């Protein structure tokens, strides 16, 4: 029982470490922690069902590129997993969404579930921190539609591996104790 309690506490601590990297990744507190520039409009929305929680980010920039960004603390040399849910409310030509991590840009595949339908898809990638802070930016352009983003998460991969390993060790210890 004591080991199970220790494993539970360590698991909770590891989630708190990963949750602290990014501020307000589910946009439940509006745009707190985020900076939006160059857009015609940036706001948090509840029109569609959110991927996580109640609110999500909505933004459009019909006249060019806009940026939604946040700078996070990172550890040099550590690999991180970044994921987020997204969709576009239009399939018009000119709808683009890119993820930039310290100016390294990845084109995000277009995802349009249908007009006024909602529905999310998830984009996932990794990066290795090369400084003590990392800029996470979404570069978007719209052509008559709106980009929706939700559930932005950044997790250090070693922490995820450690969590999995400790869970396996805990299960092995419990099994061993039952057979003794």
Residue by residue, DSSP assigns 60-128 as E-TTS-EEEEEEEE--TT-EEEEEEEEEES---TT-EEEEEETTEEEEPPP----TTT---EEEEEEEE
What confidence tens digit (pLDDT) does each residue in 15-71 have?
Answer: 444 445 999 999 999 999 999 999 999 999 999 999 999 999 999 998 788 999 999
Residue 65 lies in a domain: yes
**8 in any annotated domain:** no
Token representation of residue 113:
């579930």
The pLDDT of residue 31 is 98
Q: Structural domain of residue 26, as residue ranges?
A: 22-159
pLDDT at 19: 45
At 121, which CATH number? 2.60.120.260
Q: How many domains does the chain have?
A: 1
pLDDT of residue 177: 62
pTM of the model: 0.76
- Asked whether residue 140 is assigned to any structural domain, the reply reads yes
Domain contains 174: no
**Token reading at 42:** 């940036």
């Amino acid at each position: 029982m004591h080991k199970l309690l220790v494993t539970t506490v360590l698991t909770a601590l590891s989630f708190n470490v990963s949750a602290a990297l990014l501020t307000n990744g589910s946009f439940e507190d509006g745009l707190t922690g985020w900076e939006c520039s160059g857009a015609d409009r940036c706001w948090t929305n509840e029109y569609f069902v959110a991927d996580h929680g109640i609110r999500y980010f909505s933004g459009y920039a019909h006249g060019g590129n806009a940026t939604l960004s946040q700078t996070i603390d990172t550890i040099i040399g550590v690999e991180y997993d970044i994921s987020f849910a997204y969709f576009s409310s239009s399939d018009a030509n000119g709808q683009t969404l890119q993820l930039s991590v310290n100016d390294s840009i990845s084109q995000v595949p277009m995802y349009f579930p249908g007009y006024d339908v909602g529905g999310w898809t998830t984009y996932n990638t990794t990066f290795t921190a090369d400084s003590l802070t990392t800029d996470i930016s979404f570069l978007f352009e719209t052509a008559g539609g709106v980009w929706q983003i939700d559930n932005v998460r950044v997790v250090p991969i070693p922490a995820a591996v450690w969590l999995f390993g400790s869970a396996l060790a805990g299960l092995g210890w419990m099994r061993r104790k039952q057979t003794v």
